[in-house]
Structures are given as C-alpha cells and as structure tokens.
Chains A and B, each alone.
Chain A
Amino acid sequence: MNIDWYLVVSALIFSIGAAGVLTRRNPLVVLLCLELMLNAANIALIAFARMWNNGDGQIFAIIVMVVAACEVCIGLGLVVALYRRHLPIDVDEIRELHG
C-alpha cells in the first residue's frame, strides 16, 4: 500500500475528531474525540517512520499515547469532580474559566 493512503485515512479521522469536538457537549464524548485526533496523528507518525525506515516516529507515537493516557486521566477526574458537586455535565454550562 502506498504511504499516502495511510495519510489520507489519518486526515479523515482527524477531521471527524475535530468536527466531533465542535459538535458534542458531553465532556466524556469530547475527550473521546480528542483521542480520535491524537490517534490520527499517531497513524501519520508511524507511516512516516515506515517511509524513512527509521524508528524515531514509533517512539514519538508511544510518547503521544502516554500523553493521551495522562489527558484521559485528568479529564475523567474533572468529570467525576463535576458529578460530585452536582454541576451539569455539559461543556457549555461550565463557564467559570471563561474569564
């Protein structure tokens, strides 16, 4: 398979994730859409690692997975904290950080 096919799949998944972040209001689904965007970047990184016959891109992808796991951890902690304080679980209703 040509490398650019993988890049097209990556671009498609990234666009779907970006549209999802803009559309959905439940913070759990927004976090899932962020995962989609990070995974799209991972495919592109691994495809380029294959293209240059160089393992550095795969290391980059693994570090991206670590950062994604941290982001999920903190995001789910925030959602649980919102639920415990009986705040609405809706990104449009949480305005305290808007400034």
Chain B
Amino acid sequence: MASLKMEGLKKTYPGGVEAVKGIDLAVADSEFVVLVGPSGCGKSTLLRMVAGLESISEGRLCIDERRVNDLEPAQRDIAMVFQNYALYPHMTVFDNLAYGLKNRGIKRDEIRRRVEEAAQMLEIAPFLPRKPRRLSGGQRQRVAMGRALVREPAVFLFDEPLSNLDAKLRVQMRVEIKRLQRRLKTTSLYVTHDQLEAMTLGDRLVVLNEGRIEQVGTPMEIYARPASLFVATFIGSPAMNLIPLDYLKETGNGLLNDLPEGTDLIGIRPDDLRLQAPSEPHLVVEATLELFEAAGAESHLHVRLTGNDQTLVIRTAGQPRVAEGEALRFHVTRDAWHPFNRESGQRTDTLKHRAAAVCLLDACKRSGTHG
C-alpha cells in the first residue's frame, strides 16, 4: 500500500547515452500502471531505476513520500518479477520464496505461514519441495510471482513477466495477474512491449518513446484519443491508418474544412472505415481490395487507395461478401477522425476543439464494445 512518485527522473549512462530523459509520473495507491513502448524506449531502465538496480542520474524517486534514490533495492520495500524468472536453481521452491524473508530476519513460523499462503494463492503448493528446473514455464512464472508476493511489498514491479510464455499461457497468466492485483490492491508497475497486454492489464498506461513519456491515460483514453502519431500507431492492432489530408480533400467534401490549424494527416482506426453508409454526415474513401484475411469473428481487408499508392487495413465484423480486386467505398463518420500534424507528430485538436472531445467520449464507449 503505497504511492509512487517520479520527478524528473533521468538516466545517463557513462559515455553520454541518455536512456531516460526526464520522467514525471505519479502512481496512486493500489493503482496498476503499465509502462509500454517499443524496445529501447527506456521502459525497462525506468523500472530498474525504481527497483534500485540502476542508479538514478537525476531527479527524485519517492515511494510513499519517502525519497528512495539512494536506497538499496531491499530497503525500498519493493518486489520484482523478472522476465526470465531468475529463480535460484539450487534451492527448492519453498526456499526460493523464503530466501528474501530469511534475509530480513523474519521468524521461521511467520515465513512458513506466508510461503504457504502465497503457494495456496498461486496454486503451487504441491511444488514447494521441488527444484525450479523440474517445473514448467508457467509454474516457474508462478513461483517468481510468489517470491514477490511473500514479501508483502509496498510496490510490485513486473519486468515483461509473460514474454517467455507461450500464447495460451500468456493470456491465462495475464488474467491471473490482474485478478491477483485487484485482490491484493498493491501498487504495481508493469513493463511490457505488448500493447494488448498493456491495454488489458493497466488501470493507466504510460506510453514511452525514446526515453520520454508520449502519453499517460487510461487504456481507453489512449485508444480513443492518442496524443501523438507515435501513440496512434503503437496502440491498437492492426495499427491506425494515416491518410494525408490533401488526398482526402481532393476526393472528399466540405466536411474537412474546419479542421484545427496545422492538420495534414488524418488517422482512422481500422474499425472506423465502414462498408455500410451511415445516416449522419460522413467521409467517403474509395479503394481497391488487395487482400482479404478472414480471422474468425472478424476480417481484415488490405486495400489500396484509388489514385494513391497508400495501403490501408480495415477490420470488419464477420465475413463481408467482397472479392479481391473489387473497388470498395468506405465510410468514416466525423467522430472517428484523429487529426495530426506530420511535422510535430502531435495531435492538432488537443485544446481548441473541446466540442470534438464530447463526440470522442461516445467513440470511446463505442470502441469499448468491440475494441
């Protein structure tokens, strides 16, 4: 139970490489915050700075209002789950869980109680006398979680804990982590490069790029209103389509005239290009179907814009009756446009267009049902 505060955190490696370039972030008590970004964006470095495994070059790090910049990891009241689990191979599962407690001088009865409780919670009780090498990947993952759990720390830190698991187990463990965090209400910081994991796990997301925060918000806020081109293309799969405004103006209508100043790119989510024309005013995009991918409940249409070389990806529910090579018309309603400026990479309707934001709230609800 604790809050976590970062003020201007910076990490400069010897040789002048800046991995983390000033992060300000406040994590509330019992909040689950996910740091997400492509590899090399500094998310792991940031997490390791919080853990105390990397030194902090500049800035302030507080756990529960206590400055912990110069404390050893063990004194920070945190627990960490590593990507490759980092279990002690020569110790039994029980000893793996108990090791940190022993080092803190906790009494033997209390250690036994806590280990057994955690083992119960994670369903690893039958494996307590085994060595880690006799466990499967998923079981090791649970042991690694258990080791964090028994510490009863103020903050949980997860460093891509699911990336070594196969796809099915990953989904299962993801649900379990979320459930566990809900139950324990321990403040958590979770690093991943998988945007789906980020969207589903976090109370809030922090999208990082090149050592800086691109955007902070709830998953749906970020999905519905990406603050920059980077976030727009990183979050959401398939990625958001970006169409030059000039092209749309050539083929489009008057709807595009009152866009915020500086807009030269329009982002449209793959779900927002509809085959059926809606009754409200909308934009029409003409394109040729190049490739049709059926993926069960949904289909992906890879199309090429008419009179332009750009390709788009469109996601529709079910299997529409279309043939490859067919010319199609797609309809985009007003609330599905994301105006950007290519030069700055920023969203252009950030402050001025409050009215649009109201529309976007609807969009938020809507995409919540099928996003």
A binds B: no
Residues of A within 8 A of B (CB): none
Residues of B within 8 A of A (CB): none
